[in-house]
């Protein structure tokens, strides 16, 4: 072996040894960090002399002790609520610099929560990208157990001027054979730069107990001279447990439903509020609903089902000034992890400490931004709370119907049309417009919806709330908002959970691109939806809602003559024909629809596995069409040898799905002709056609007998509409 080859082999061997050593050191370090955390958790529990091995380690001092001890061992650590200064912050700052410089680097961060839960972030950067391994631990029975591990790349990464490391990203949930298209998203905000302990103390005492949830105390400008728009009912909810050390005693009826309102004695209400505000009785009474006759305040509790959402900013006192009059001015940043913002807005709060240990709030002033333009999240949150309460109230109206309804044996509940309409009849009592997906059902309380649309058409702002009854027994609340120029839809869906309690399933706030209220009484609109390349397939945002009700006569004719036929699987309503030109009708396709119209049930092909017998087929066709058996044999697919007509179920090979096939035929006009026939004007209504209440309009001629039976005599598509629809695909051909 040459000297050069020996040197190359030695270099390769040294490199392999170096990699093995580094990998083993990394594994050892990771294992050591987990063991160190577990030991610290156990020591802390033992120190507190708890007899319960599952005791929750949740006090601030306990968490601070664990974080600091991890720092002494060289680990980056912080608590989950950013109430403790981060240890080894220099490592994080250095790592952020390496990300900016597109260097290779690695970093681990321990986040200790207040409920025996911990998260370890392993960060790795290369070429400016940051890959994240998120491992979730629980401390149980003296052991630190790894519960799950997720991997994702940060789609947002920033070290902010306020000293926060903020990152976010999504991981996808892998199931057997399936990769979910929608991932779990995480937003992380970790304070890296230390914060003065006095600021933290002031924040814990004066600001955090109130926060930004379910009140507007720190979101609006007010002072002792002018309390502005403060909602003292919300503040009563917040202050009561601070004083009484217990929750507000909501007054409920025997069914545990929260009453819409009840009375609070004057002394009780004023004592709670005046503990924290220098406000006189007269001013407070003017800011609330007060009844002088019995000296009570009307109290309107928030909805029983309302919950606080974690996706709101949290306050952080960043500086303070002790004033000469004994008050303290606190400068507060609103940190909003869910929007990757470490300073959403800034406000100044003035508090007055009292000699007895109590304190009063003197004023609040939003200083950044001056126009309150960053308060949009608060409006959205209030909208969500209002929607949740409305859905819960609506569902309580029909709880009895839902609980006693036949839900079948399937996992997914599907109620009957009759049950859905019965629910609609109950919900309409709330006065809002109410719709269903039952074919031809009318909008109850449609007047306010029509007024709203006409007001919008005149360029005036307004809003209206509607409810849609779902077949699963839930409701969809839709709030349409028009600002004078643009329209928006705030949509919230609520369902029944396993305990038969209402819960929110989804919610969205979407701009409406275009809309129109047609002369026929349809509200047509198109929602703004993601488009390629943001999504891989085209999404349809078209919607259509009937506002003006159908007449009873048109409803009856629609149900009797056109509902079962539709525009898919047969072409009776799909094409132009009359009694002299019937050769183009798809008889083999239309047979099953006539069968359902006559017998009230779907055709079962198992009864005719080798085709439909000649006599059965022809008799049924001739009952609904003026045609002879000989003509049927000529026009349809007929097997002369077996004397049967071919029948095939509708499938992808003989019925390509089209938007037109989803249309619902609806009778819009009825004319009695001199020859005894009746001409029905029919619209094909489709919610996939933008800003139009009919894909095509056609005239269907029928002849009714005295016994109520009828025959179809012809169909004519108006306004050359046949060019607007796809070519018909026959069920089967010779």
- Label residue 263 exposed, middle or buried (CB < 10 Å: 0-12, 13-18, 19+): middle
What is the arithmetic mean of pLDDT over 687-710? Answer: 88
Do residue 261 and residue 408 come from a single domain?
no
Contact between residue 595 and residue 620 where contact means Cβ atoms under 8 Å apart: yes
Do residue 172 and residue 110 come from a single domain?
yes
* 3-class SS of residue 314: strand
Question: Bigger pLDDT: 308 or 675?
Answer: 675
Is position 54 within any domain?
Answer: yes
- Label residue 599 exposed, middle or buried (CB < 10 Å: 0-12, 13-18, 19+): exposed
* pLDDT value at residue 541: 81
Q: Choose the final residue of a domain: 351, 374, 397.
A: 374
What is d(CA 571, CA 700) in angstroms, rounded to the nearest whole number? 13
Residues spanned by the domain of 327 = 197-374
pLDDT over 50 (residue 17): no
For residue 667, give the H/E element and its range.
strand 664-672
Do residue 343 and residue 410 come from a single domain?
no
Q: Tens of pLDDT along 574-586?
A: 999 999 999 999 9
Q: Tens of pLDDT along 258-274?
A: 444 578 999 999 999 99
Distance of CA 578 to the CA centre of its chain: 50
User: Band of the pLDDT at 98, cuts 50, 70, 90?
Assistant: very high
Least confident of 277-291, 617-631, 654-668: 654-668
Do residue 370 and residue 381 come from a single domain?
no
* pLDDT value at residue 307: 41
pLDDT over 50 (residue 299): yes
* 3-class SS of residue 291: strand
Q: Tens of pLDDT along 20-68?
A: 444 444 434 455 678 888 888 777 766 655 545 455 566 899 899 999 9
Do residue 403 and residue 469 come from a single domain?
yes
Do residue 158 and residue 29 come from a single domain?
yes
What is d(CA 344, CA 313) in angstroms, rounded to the nearest whole number? 8
Q: Choose the final residue of a domain: 332, 359, 374.
A: 374
Q: Are strands 434-436 and 462-469 parallel, antiparallel or unpaired?
A: parallel
Question: Bigger pLDDT: 249 or 233?
Answer: 233
* 3-class SS of residue 261: coil
User: Band of the pLDDT at 343, cuts 50, 70, 90?
Assistant: very high
What is d(CA 226, CA 177) in angstroms, rounded to the nearest whole number? 63
**Going along 92-231, which residue ranges are E strands?**
105-112, 117-126, 129-140, 143-153, 156-159, 164-171, 174-175, 178-179, 184-191, 222-223
Least confident of 79-93, 110-124, 461-475, 718-732: 718-732
pLDDT over 60 (residue 519): yes
Is position 1 within any domain?
Answer: no
User: Band of the pLDDT at 180, cuts 50, 70, 90?
Assistant: very low
Looking at 611-734, list the stretches that DSSP marks H as alpha helix, in order from N- to C-terminal side.
614-624, 629-635
Token pair of 712, please? 């179809």
pLDDT over 90 (residue 608): no
Region of residue 65 (left: phi > 0; alpha: psi -120 to 50; beta: else):
alpha
What is the arithmetic mean of pLDDT over 338-360? Answer: 94
105-112 sheet: strands from edge to edge: 76-79, 105-112, 117-126, 129-140, 143-153
Do residue 314 and residue 341 come from a single domain?
yes
* pLDDT value at residue 495: 93
Is position 12 within any domain?
Answer: no
What is the arithmetic mean of pLDDT over 413-418? Answer: 92
What is the arithmetic mean of pLDDT over 386-414? Answer: 89
Q: Choose the final residue of a domain: 313, 345, 374.
A: 374
Is position 4 within any domain?
Answer: no
User: Band of the pLDDT at 255, cuts 50, 70, 90?
Assistant: very low
Contact between residue 469 and residue 457 where contact means Cβ atoms under 8 Å apart: no
Is position 654 within any domain?
Answer: yes
Contact between residue 216 and residue 108 where contact means Cβ atoms under 8 Å apart: no
Do residue 68 and residue 210 come from a single domain?
no
Least confident of 316-330, 429-443, 535-549, 605-619: 535-549
Q: Report percent pLDDT > 90 for the chain.
A: 65
Any idea what the CATH number is for the domain that residue 242 is in?
A: 3.10.450
Is position 438 within any domain?
Answer: yes
pLDDT over 80 (residue 678): yes
Contact between residue 546 and residue 427 where contact means Cβ atoms under 8 Å apart: no
* pLDDT value at residue 648: 87
* pLDDT value at residue 178: 33
Do residue 614 and residue 545 come from a single domain?
no
Do residue 62 and residue 103 come from a single domain?
yes
Average pLDDT, the chain: 86
* pLDDT value at residue 181: 36
What is d(CA 181, CA 309) in angstroms, rounded to the nearest whole number? 25
Least confident of 49-58, 85-94, 134-143, 707-716: 49-58
* pLDDT value at residue 470: 95
Domain total for the chain? 4
Please indicate, yes or no, whether the overall pTM of this predicted structure exceeds 0.75: no
Is position 7 within any domain?
Answer: no
Is position 733 within any domain?
Answer: no
Q: Report percent pLDDT > 70 for the chain.
A: 85
Q: Which of 246, 249, 245 is nearest to 258 (CA)?
A: 249
Do residue 401 and residue 363 come from a single domain?
no
* pLDDT value at residue 653: 67
* pLDDT value at residue 256: 39
pLDDT over 50 (residue 637): yes
Do residue 54 and residue 152 come from a single domain?
yes
């Amino acid at each position: 072996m040459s000297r050069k080859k020996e040197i190359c082999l030695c270099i390769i061997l040294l490199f392999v040894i170096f990699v093995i050593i580094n990998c083993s050191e990394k594994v050892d370090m990771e294992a050591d960090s987990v063991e160190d955390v577990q030991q610290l958790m156990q020591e802390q529990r033992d120190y507190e002399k708890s007899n319960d091995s599952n005791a929750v380690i949740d006090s601030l001092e306990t968490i601070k002790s664990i974080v600091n001890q991890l720092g002494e061992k060289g680990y980056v650590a912080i608590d989950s609520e950013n109430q403790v200064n981060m240890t080894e912050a220099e490592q994080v700052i250095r790592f952020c610099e390496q990300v900016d410089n597109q260097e290779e680097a690695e970093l681990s961060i321990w986040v200790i929560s207040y409920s025996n839960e911990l998260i370890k972030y392993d960060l790795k950067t290369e070429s400016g990208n940051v890959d994240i391994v998120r491992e979730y631990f629980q401390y149980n029975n003296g052991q630190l157990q790894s519960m799950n591990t997720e991997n994702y790349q940060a789609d947002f990464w920033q070290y902010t001027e306020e000293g926060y490391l903020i990152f976010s990203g999504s991981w996808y949930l892998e199931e057997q054979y399936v990769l979910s298209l929608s991932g779990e998203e995480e937003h992380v905000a970790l304070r890296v730069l230390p914060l003065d302990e006095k600021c933290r103390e002031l924040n814990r005492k004066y600001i955090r107990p109130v926060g930004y949830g379910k009140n507007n105390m720190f979101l609006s400008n007010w002072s002792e001279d002018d309390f502005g728009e403060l909602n003292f009912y919300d503040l009563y909810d917040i202050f009561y447990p601070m004083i009484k050390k217990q929750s507000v005693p909501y007054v409920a009826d025997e069914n545990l439903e929260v009453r819409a309102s009840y009375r609070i004695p004057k002394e009780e209400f004023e004592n709670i509020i005046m503990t924290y505000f220098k406000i006189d009785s007269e001013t407070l009474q003017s800011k609330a609903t007060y009844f002088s006759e019995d000296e009570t305040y009307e109290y309107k509790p928030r909805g029983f089902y309302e919950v606080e959402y974690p996706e709101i900013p949290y306050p952080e006192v960043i500086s303070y000034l002790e004033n000469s009059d004994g008050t303290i001015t606190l400068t507060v940043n609103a940190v909003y992890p869910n929007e990757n913002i470490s300073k959403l807005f800034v406000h100044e709060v003035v508090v007055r400490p009292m000699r007895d240990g109590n304190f009063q709030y003197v004023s609040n002033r939003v200083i950044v931004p001056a126009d309150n333009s960053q308060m949009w999240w608060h409006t959205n949150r209030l909208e969500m709370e209002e929607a949740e309460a409305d859905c819960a109230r609506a569902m309580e109206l029909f709880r009895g119907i839902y609980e006693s309804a036949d839900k079948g044996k399937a996992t997914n509940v599907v109620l009957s049309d009759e049950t859905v309409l019965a629910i609609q009849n109950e919900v309409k009592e709330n006065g809002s417009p109410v719709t269903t997906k039952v074919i031809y059902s009318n909008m109850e309380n449609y007047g306010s919806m029509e007024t709203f649309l006409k007001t919008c058409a005149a360029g005036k702002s307004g809003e209206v709330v509607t409810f849609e009854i779902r077949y699963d027994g839930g409701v969809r609340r839709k709030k349409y908002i028009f600002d004078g120029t643009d329209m928006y839809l705030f949509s919230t869906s609520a369902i029944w959970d396993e305990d038969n309690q209402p819960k929110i399933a989804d919610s969205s706030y979407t701009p409406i691109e275009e809309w129109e209220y047609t002369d026929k009484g349809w509200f047509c609109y198109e929602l703004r939806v993601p488009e390629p390349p943001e999504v891989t397939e085209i999404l349809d945002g078209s919607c259509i809602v009937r506002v003006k009700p159908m007449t009873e006569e048109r409803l009856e004719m629609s149900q009797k003559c056109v509902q079962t036929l539709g525009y898919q699987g047969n072409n009776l309503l799909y094409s132009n024909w009359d009694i002299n030109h019937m050769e183009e009708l798809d008889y083999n396709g239309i047979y099953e629809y006539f069968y359902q119209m006559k017998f009230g049930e779907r055709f079962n092909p198992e009864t005719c596995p080798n085709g439909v017998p000649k006599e059965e087929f022809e008799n049924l066709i001739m009952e609904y069409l003026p045609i002879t058996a000989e003509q049927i044999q000529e026009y349809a697919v007929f097997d002369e040898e077996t004397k049967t007509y071919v029948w095939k179920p509708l499938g992808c090979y003989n019925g390509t799905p089209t938007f037109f096939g989803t249309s619902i035929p609806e009778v819009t006009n009825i004319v009695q002709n001199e020859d005894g026939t009746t001409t029905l004007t029919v619209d094909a209504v489709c919610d996939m056609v933008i800003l139009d209440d009919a894909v095509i309009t056609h005239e269907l001629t029928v002849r009714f007998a005295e016994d109520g039976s009828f025959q179809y005599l012809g169909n004519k598509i108006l306004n050359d509409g046949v060019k607007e629809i796809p070519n018909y695909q026959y069920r089967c051909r010779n």
